[in-house]
Chain A
Amino acid sequence: MNISNFLVMRHEIILLVLILFMLVLEVFTTTKNKKKLINVAIGLFLIHTIIGFFPQETASLFGGSFKTYGLVHFFKNVLNFGVLIILLQSADWLRDKVAAYNKIPEFFILLFSSLLGMYFMISSGDFLMFYIGLELSTLPLIALIAYNSHDQRATEAGIKMILSAALASAISLFGISMLYATGGSLYFESIATSLHESNLAIFGMVLFFAGIGFKISLAPFHFWTADVYEGAPTQITSYLSVISKGAAVFILMIILFTVLPVLNETWKIVVYIVAIATMFTGNLFALRQQNMKRFLAYSSIAQAGFMLMGIINADELGISTVVFFVLIYIFSNLGAFGVVQAIINQTGKENMEDYKGLYRTNPMLSLVLLLALFSLAGIPPIAGFFGKFFLYTAAAQKGYFILVFIAVVNVTISLYYYLLPVRAMFLETSENPIPYFKSKNMMRAGLLLTVVGVLILGLYSPLYGYIVELSKNIINPDLLTYLAK
């Protein structure tokens, strides 16, 4: 492997080195010193994130099974940034809670492995690489979900996840094999031209869609979500709801647009139905949740439904709006989960009841949560509003007005439940409020990054223009003209 290959696979190789390094460190660190590894790991990951921002050329390796281009590169950086925020937010938890059962380095090793899987997944150029990436990203996550093995809820969540994930993998593998049967290849580029519309191909496409829909928790493949989100440690919940979901949406979109354009008439119907089902499921279940983690779980299901609205556009506009939305969603959701997590770490309270009167005792935390929830709800002029507005426009541009109407109705429903915690924090009083506490610096930095992210994305417009630039030429124009014939 020469140096240019190293540059192309920069993200993957550095992260792999990080993982190995952590493994070695783990062996050579005494139990007493393991807490120091937290800072080391976060520091190293910060360096990795920064290196990621250096520009990269379009290239493909291993006969086309690994591809990288501007948008993928950008998206990997986005994922890095999200993971960095999660790491900052988890530092306290690792130091105070996890240290007790001596599993600190493993946390980083597993989390980085899962992230590595996502890199491969979104860079994949054939279905084999895609599948390996998918599995690599899922399996470490299961261990992380059941990380606190003394907690029955976590163990149960782990079991549920492993079984559901196995089923999803099996189904999507079945779908891929059908696509292989009709397309005669595993390579994305050859499938795109050789695939023809047939019942078998459609069957394969839907099963593939279902498998990846599991990761995005689209209805009706979402049942695991609430249980697992509630049972898992909060930092893993935020990883699942943000990084895992974001990467899966991204690769789903790329595959649908570039590999399966032949079936676009059909997958648009699937996306349409699933989008509506997902929005309603997420919103109607979220309405009466009392547990904050469960509440955010359903809210994230509903948000996934919105992302599909951009996918249905099936064009460059769709790509840029979805990526922009995912970006905003990452910051907003991490902000919300960060506050929930800070409160769980300090007090162990995770019910909406407990948030009453929070503004009196912890004004800064409640303001962060307010901003995050407003962004998720899409109240202008906060970032989330632009994300949603662009998605509406993307769907409207292709004439899906009924879908847009349903989405707007759903946003209005969602506003109701997003305001419930806000009301509890700001307007209601409690005899037993959460007392004032001061978060550690890492946690503060993690929350601050989400706030800055939400504000910048809402107010600094050129970023969207940059994404638009990156989204150009991803859909092969030759392919489109070929298909038109």
Chain B
Amino acid sequence: MDFSYTIFILLIPITTFLLLGFFYNRIKPAVSGWIGVTALTIVAGLSYYTAIKYFFYTPKLEGKYQTLYGIKMNWMNFTDKLHIDMGILLDPISIMMLVVVSTISLMVHIYSRGYMDGDRGYTKFFAFLSLFTFAMMGLVVATNLFQIYIFWELVGVSSFLLIGYYYEKPSAVAAAKKAFIVTRFADLGFLIGILLMGYYGGSYDFGILNNPEGAAIMNWASSSFMGLSVITWALLLMFMGGAGKSAMFPLHIWLPDAMEGPTPVSALIHAATMVVAGVYLVARMFPMFYFVEDGYALHVVAWVGAISSLIAAIIALTQYDIKRVLAFSTMSQIGYMMLALGVSKFDGHEGLGYMASMWHLFTHAMFKALLFLGAGSIIHAIHSNFMQDMGGLRKYMPITHITFLIGALSISGFPLTAGFFSKDEILAAAFEHNKPIYFITLFVAGLTAFYMFRLYFSIFWGKKKEYEHTPHESPWSMKFPLMFLAFMSVAAGYISFSEMVTADRAIFHIHFDFVGAAIAVSVGLSGIALAWFFYKKPTDYPEKISTAFGRFYTWTFHKFYIDELYLFITRTIIFKYISGSFAWFDQNVVDGSMRGIGNKTVSFSKLIKGLQSGKLQDYAVAFAGGAFILVLIVLYVL
């Protein structure tokens, strides 16, 4: 089967970016919007065609899906063994991601034509969206660690640009910077992990590394560092990069702030695609995570996922900014995907967690993008992000209301929605392999239903507010994506994922467990019922509860002060004490003579005198002293 046409999936968005980026002064906004939408329609079409061709018409090898390459070329030979390739890797998860990214990106493009209408940087916005789409597509089809790292950073850069899109707002600039720095810090781990993997695993190529009988996996025990295999260290460091991108505890602090970006961007990047890159990375390296050192690294993944999902769900209960509630909800759901991967095994039905994680990734992309776009529609109408400013909107915005309800039901795991099916499989996988995590997951399911319906009731029901301008329904360009995604938020549950995306690539059939499903559904429903009781009509219960929790509520409201902790470390320790003292030295010792020159009142002769008597000697002392200290170190210390 020939898949070489898949190169166009990458070429079209980058061309669009270059076209819109270079000529953004000359292209009319309306035209640029259409260029973006058309390009993405073609990309989405190609992705769907590839998916159909791969899953239904490409013969399997011994009952398993094969790994195919659209393109694979040698790009740089580093040493005889290590070389860097660029290419397009096609296997079930990369094709699934192609479908997810292109679908959501297309919907966001269409939506943005309405949402960003009249914005000064309209064309620039579409250019950035294309850049992001290109980077994300390149990331998912990467054939090796090096390629994934390049696109990984490119995704980070385009996310930085889009968060800081409203650059007049200082908070947006600060948020963009924060996101960039935090994820860069995490990527530091990723890069070292890649280097370790290249050296000890002997390759960057996924095909070679992930081969269960290959050298990288078989020889994991050959070298160790601090009681763990070096390969395990490499995997953990790579997971650190993934945790940064996917906003896992404790590297999640950038995600809520990233909500400063335009809402369509939040839907595309910070809900559906970029933030799941970490999950994708673990899934991509799954055989390594699973086989090396009996899945030690995978165990860490499971617990980081579980803790993140719990913490995020608790914080989401107390937030008032609707986009931040959704942001914490995203973090919580990604935690689900991580823990599902973490508890998974490899063969057949044992690999249920892997399948469930990928399925949840798919359904979550649909319903979370829907919820964000719905929130965007509301913000567009009300011009506020805070739920205190909202209420009784169901009358004014019927389509937004219905679609938002579908999204909320789906994320809460209401029976027969997509979220119900995928979440149920995650719970089943956790139940089979790790009981403590199962109970956390179940608890989070209840919390999720509660905070989503707290959001829903306060926006669409509750007290009717006096609005300055009567809110009205959004234009069709915004309603259509909402309706399509609402459809997908139900329909995605009926795709038989276990026949397509599995850990060992062989298909299996899910045994539907009624008891487990009943427990999960009843927990979800009680969450919804509680929210109904609290928020359908304005009551004083929420206030009573928050007073009852007292200190804990305050902690939660302030997101457990994790941001403040980081600020203390960076600002006080690094900037004030370390960098501050360096700056003092530079200003007073090194720069002192320079400032003397700036002072015009000092006569020239005096100045020369000042130079000769002072600083140069210091330099000379440092020079000679440094050389002699080096000699002493080399000769006597070592």
Contacts and interface: CB of A to CB of B under 8 A. Distances in A.
Given A156-B593, A202-B635, A416-B181, A221 B604 contact: no
A392 interface: yes
Contact of B635 (A203, A210, A404, A465): A203
Given A153-B597, A223-B622, A380-B150, A408 B192 contact: yes
Given A223-B618, A380-B154, A269 B634 contact: yes
A167 B620 contact: yes
B631 interface: yes
Contacts of B154: 380-381
Contacts of A224: 619
B519 interface: no
B215 interface: no
B607 A266 contact: no
Most buried by B among A231, A269, A429: A269
Given A159-B611, A168-B623, A412-B184, A287 B594 contact: no
A184 interface: no
A227 B594 contact: yes
Interface in A401-437: 401, 404-405, 408-409, 411-412, 415-416, 419, 423, 426-429
A156 B605 CA distance: 12
Contact of B185 (A164, A168, A412, A419): A412
Given A152-B607, A393-B82, A423 B173 contact: yes
Interface in A199-246: 199, 202-203, 206-207, 209-210, 214, 219-221, 223-224, 226-227, 230-231
B604 A288 contact: no
A317 B79 contact: yes
B231 to A, nearest CB: 14
Nearest to B150: A380
Nearest to B157: A379
Interface in B570-619: 578-579, 582-583, 586, 590-591, 593-594, 597, 604, 607, 611, 616, 618-619
B1 interface: no
A475 interface: no
A319 to B, nearest CB: 13
Given A202-B635, A284-B578, A393-B78, A404 B624 contact: no
Interface in B623-638: 623-627, 630-631, 633-635, 638
B607 A427 contact: no
Contacts of A380: 149-150, 153-154
A476 interface: no
A73 to B, nearest CB: 23
Contact of A423 (B177, B593, B619): B177
B627 A427 contact: no
Contacts of B624: 167, 171
Nearest to B617: A163
B198 interface: yes
B226 interface: no
B594 A230 contact: yes
Contacts of B626: 210, 219-221
Contacts of A266: 634
B77 interface: yes
B526 to A, nearest CB: 46
Contact of A273 (B195, B196, B633): B633
Contact of A156 (B75, B597, B633): B597
Given A419-B180, A461-B75, A464-B76, A163 B616 contact: yes
A149 interface: no
Interface string A354-389: 000000000000000000000000011100011001
A429 B166 CA distance: 13
Interface in B154-211: 154, 157, 164, 167-168, 173, 176-177, 180-181, 184-185, 188, 191-192, 195-196, 198-199
Nearest to B198: A393
Contacts of B611: 156, 159-160
A274 interface: yes
Interface in B478-509: none
A223 B168 CA distance: 40
A381 B626 CA distance: 38
B177 A419 contact: yes
A223 to B, nearest CB: 4
Contacts of B586: 226, 285, 288-289
A391 B195 CA distance: 11
B188 A223 contact: no
Given A269-B634, A412-B188, A419-B180, A152 B604 contact: yes
Given A202-B631, A416-B181, A381 B150 contact: yes
A390 interface: yes
Contacts of B76: 386, 461, 464-465
Interface residues of B, number: 58
A173 interface: no
A472 to B, nearest CB: 12
Interface string B51-80: 000000000000000000000000111110
A362 to B, nearest CB: 14
A81 B176 CA distance: 38
Nearest to B153: A380
B579 A288 contact: yes
B179 to A, nearest CB: 12
B276 to A, nearest CB: 21
A288 B157 CA distance: 23
A160 B618 CA distance: 12
A397 interface: yes
B349 to A, nearest CB: 40
B583 A288 contact: yes
Nearest to B149: A380
Contacts of B630: 206, 209-210, 270, 273-274
A396 interface: yes
B271 to A, nearest CB: 24
A4 B77 CA distance: 36
A386 to B, nearest CB: 8
A287 B623 contact: no
A230 B594 CA distance: 9
A290 B591 CA distance: 12
Given A288-B586, A426-B167, A461-B75, A164 B619 contact: yes
Most buried by B among A203, A226, A389: A389
Contact of A396 (B195, B618, B625): B195
A203 B627 CA distance: 9
A206 B78 contact: no
B181 A427 contact: no
B590 A223 contact: yes
Contacts of A159: 611, 616
Contacts of A465: 76-77
A386 B630 CA distance: 31
A203 B631 contact: yes
B221 to A, nearest CB: 18
Given A206-B634, A220-B623, A461-B76, A160 B616 contact: yes
A222 to B, nearest CB: 9
Contacts of B625: 220
13 contacts: A156-B611, A164-B619, A167-B623, A202-B631, A203-B635, A207-B631, A220-B622, A220-B626, A227-B590, A287-B583, A380-B153, A392-B191, A465-B77
| Ranked 6 nearest A-B pairs via Cβ | A220-B626, A210-B627, A223-B619, A380-B150, A461-B76, A288-B583
Interface of A: 152-153, 156, 159-160, 163-164, 167-168, 171, 199, 202-203, 206-207, 209-210, 214, 219-221, 223-224, 226-227, 230-231, 266, 269-270, 273-274, 284-285, 287-289, 317, 379-381, 385-386, 389-390, 392-393, 396-397, 401, 404-405, 408-409, 411-412, 415-416, 419, 423, 426-429, 461, 464-465, 468
Given A206-B631, A464-B76, 13 more contacts: A164-B623, A168-B623, A203-B631, A207-B631, A221-B626, A285-B583, A380-B153, A393-B199, A404-B192, A416-B181, A419-B177, A419-B180, A427-B176
